[in-house]
Amino acid sequence: MINLERKDYYKNLFLVGAIFALAVGIIFFILFLFYNPGLTPVGQVYNLFFRAFTILNGIGYYIVSRDITKNHGYVFVAIIGKVMVFVFFLIAFILSIFSIIEVIFGIIDLIFAILYAEFLINFDKI
């Protein structure tokens, strides 16, 4: 028997993740067009690629939210990516490359990674 309340929770979790990723990706993409201090051309390309990748992930989370019985491989890859973002942002902060603001975004990604992992672990119990 499917627990509809839990199923709705997970669908909404991925929808919120999609909205968050799309909003962050689009907002920072637009901001980058007007403000990109001191980046080399290669740095600018990597920066834009990271924002585009964030938008792409938002689309992926939206796809998962539409049918949580599918795309579990994508969820697994997303967990790894989100943990990597947290670790990279934390290292950049420790090396004084990033500010605490980026670490906060990394912590938000880590929280989503934990919630997504909880989804994968408990999916068979829904």
Domains of the chain: which residue ranges? 4-125
pLDDT confidence of residue 54: 96
**H/E stretch holding 17:** helix 4-34
CB 51 within 8 A of CB 91: no
Asked if the model's pLDDT at residue 1 lies above 60, the reply is no
The pLDDT tens digits of the residues spanning 20-59 come to 999 999 999 998 888 877 788 898 888 899 999 999 999 9
- 31's CB contacts (< 8 A; 6+ apart) are none
CB 106 within 8 A of CB 89: yes
The percent of residues above 70 in pLDDT, for the chain, comes to 98
pTM: 0.90
Give me the sign of the Cα torsion angle 35, 99, 91, 108: negative
In degrees to the nearest 10, what's the CA dihedral of 46, 52, 55, 60? -100
pLDDT confidence of residue 110: 98
Give me the sign of the Cα torsion angle 57, 63, 69, 70: negative
Confidence at 2, pLDDT banded by 50, 70, 90: low
